[in-house]
Structures are given as structure tokens and as C-alpha cells.
Amino acid sequence: MDRVKSAPHITPAKMDVMVNPISNRIDIFCNQRRVQASSLIVTIFGDAVLPRGGQVWLGSLIYLLAPMQLNERLVRTSVFRLVKDGWLSAETVGRRANYALTPWGRRRFEEASSQIYAARAPVWDQRWRMILVVGELTTKQREQLRRTLFWKGFGLIGSNCFIHPGARLDEAIDALSAEGLQSLLPRLMPMTAEDFQSAHAASDADLVTHAWDLSALSQSYAEFVALYSPIRDYVLENSVTNDEQAFLLRMLLIHDYRRLLLRDPELPDSLLPKDWSGRQARAVCKVLYKQIEAASERYLDKTLQLADGTALALQAGTKRFV
């Protein structure tokens, strides 16, 4: 592949004559000692590339990430690792290459997208989804089962009952198959159960408390709110005229929010604490995203292309945070 010439990016320190919260957020990211470039690239694919056809030239990724102090070598290495791990697939075009999310990678991000861009928490139908372990599992099999179902939001009651108030059982079973755990299916029993109200029985709140530890996640959401609320307020008072800056902020916003949602079981609002910080985090993310969306899309219009030079246009009907 041919090398990408350096581009005249605006460095974070020069984005504004006056320091503002947007520049501060970008500077903080750039000054991190360790950066998970692969995770950031997955965020870009899901938020920016999928709505534009799902495929992009490697050079465009290198250009997008240059202002974040991620050099070309790191981006290339991260992309190759994502290919090896099954997230991305490559298509060679001469000396260049286009990359796209694999069906598995696309499914993983789309699962997260249903939470990222949701207007509100799901409404509960008062029924619990359960997956019971009815056979013997090895320690390794039990850990694989736990990890896959936790990814789907399931909590664990005791040692043999996975539970969730809204997950689709068919999707959970498909996820187990996709992870190569088909051999476990004969030892699992998916079922639904209606809540029987009794003054002497455990409540739904008791189930939530025992199945999920939400304290650490709540604190993380509160930290997200504390980080992005000043930026939201600044953007609401001052129009963002720098398209590149708008994109960089949008990338970090979705990246940070997505990382929280990966740990969120997506419980219905009625089962969450009244002071649940995730509600405020969703509102902050939505308002800020909508304020910078147009400017960031202008930047992507000028930046994203395929290996043959074709610009990637935003697909009609694409909607975020409706």
C-alpha cells in the first residue's frame, strides 16, 4: 500500500484562540499515555463509516486520526489487528486497501447502536427472560457462557440462572452459536416468567440488586456527565464553526459513551434507581451530538473516501438520536 502524505491538520492547541472545553477534551485525550486505538477505530466505523456505505480507504482513517496524535504506524497496526480479530475485512485495490466491518463486527456495533442512539430506556413488559443451566458445565464452559450472556446484558442469580427483563432469547442463543458455543445449547433452557406480586416474596428490585452490581457503572456515568456537561453548555452558547473540531469531539463523545454502554445491561427505566446517572448521561450525549452533527458531517464529506478516490456520501434516511 502507498503511504499517506501528512496533511495540514489543525492541532488541538491551535483550534481556538481562547481555550475552550472542546479543546481541553481533545488535549486530554492526546496526552494520554495509553490509547486504545483499535477501539477508537471501531467507533469510527460504526458512527461514521457504516452510514456511508460501510467501507473506507485506510488512508482516510489515518487522516482522521492524525490530529489525535495517533501516527500512521499505530493506525495500520491497529487495523491489521482488527482484521486478525475478525472485526474488519480488507479489499485490495491496486496498492491501496479498503476496510469494512465483518458481518460479526457489524452485528456487535449494531447491538451497541440500539442503546447509543436510543431516545430513552426500553419500556418493560413485566416479564423476565431466563436461561437456566440444566446440565453440567466445565469451569471453562461456564466462564464462556457467562461472558457471552453478560455481553447481551444478562445478570446471574445463583450459579445456574441467567436473567434479563427485556433481552430477546433468540438473539442470546444466536450469540452463543456465533461464539462457537453450540455444544452448550442442549444444557440450557431459555424461558420467560411473569412477575407474581406478593408482599412476602422477593421484589423485582431485589432481583436487580442480586443480578447486577450497578454502583460502579453509575459512578462512571456520573463522571461522563461531569466531563461532557460543560462542553454541552459551551456548544449551546457558542456555535462550533470548526468542522474538524466538531468531528473530533463527536468521535470522543460516542467512543466514551459506547464504552459505558458495553457494561450497561440496558434495564428498563422502572427497574433503575430514581437517581440513575445513566439517564442524564443519555440526555447530555444526545443534545451535544445533535449540536455538532451537521459540522462533523461536513468534515466527513470532505475526508472519507474509498481507495479509488470515490467520496463516501451519507446514505439517505440516516438518523441518529431521533
Matching residue, cell 501528512: 6
pLDDT in the model for residue 135 = 84
> Rounded distance, CA 56 to CA 304, Å?
7
pLDDT in the model for residue 67 = 93
pLDDT in the model for residue 112 = 73
pLDDT of 100 above 90 = yes
Lowest mean pLDDT among 103-107, 194-198, 215-219, 269-273: 194-198
Residue 1: pLDDT band with limits 50, 70, 90: very low
pLDDT of 18 above 60 = no
> Rounded distance, CA 319 to CA 20, Å?
29
DSSP conformation letters of 118-161 = -SSPPPP-SEEEEEEE-S---HHHHHHHHHHHHHTT-EEETTTE
Sheet with 161-164, edge to edge strand ranges: 155-157, 161-164, 127-133, 188-194
Cβ atoms of 249 and 273 within 8 Å: the answer is: no
> Rounded distance, CA 84 to CA 81, Å?
5
Sheet with 96-101, edge to edge strand ranges: 55-57, 96-101, 88-93
Q: Among the CATH numbers 1.10.150, 3.10.590, 3.40.50, 3.30.70, which is that of 127-194?
A: 3.30.70
pLDDT of 15 above 50 = no
Cβ atoms of 293 and 237 within 8 Å: the answer is: no
Residue 196: pLDDT band with limits 50, 70, 90: low
| Cβ within 8 Å of residue 140, ≥6 positions away | none
In the chain, where the domains are located: 1-121+216-322, 127-194
Task: Output the nine-digit C-alpha cell for 121.
Answer: 430506556
Whole-model pTM: value is 0.86
- Nearest Cα to 205, choosing from 130, 123, 282, 267? 267
pLDDT of 53 above 80 = yes
DSSP code of residue 47: I
- Nearest Cα to 285, choosing from 253, 245, 258, 262? 253
Class of 1-121+216-322 per CATH?
mainly alpha
Task: Output the nine-digit C-alpha cell for 169.
Answer: 432469547
What percent of the chain stands above pLDDT 70?
Answer: 91
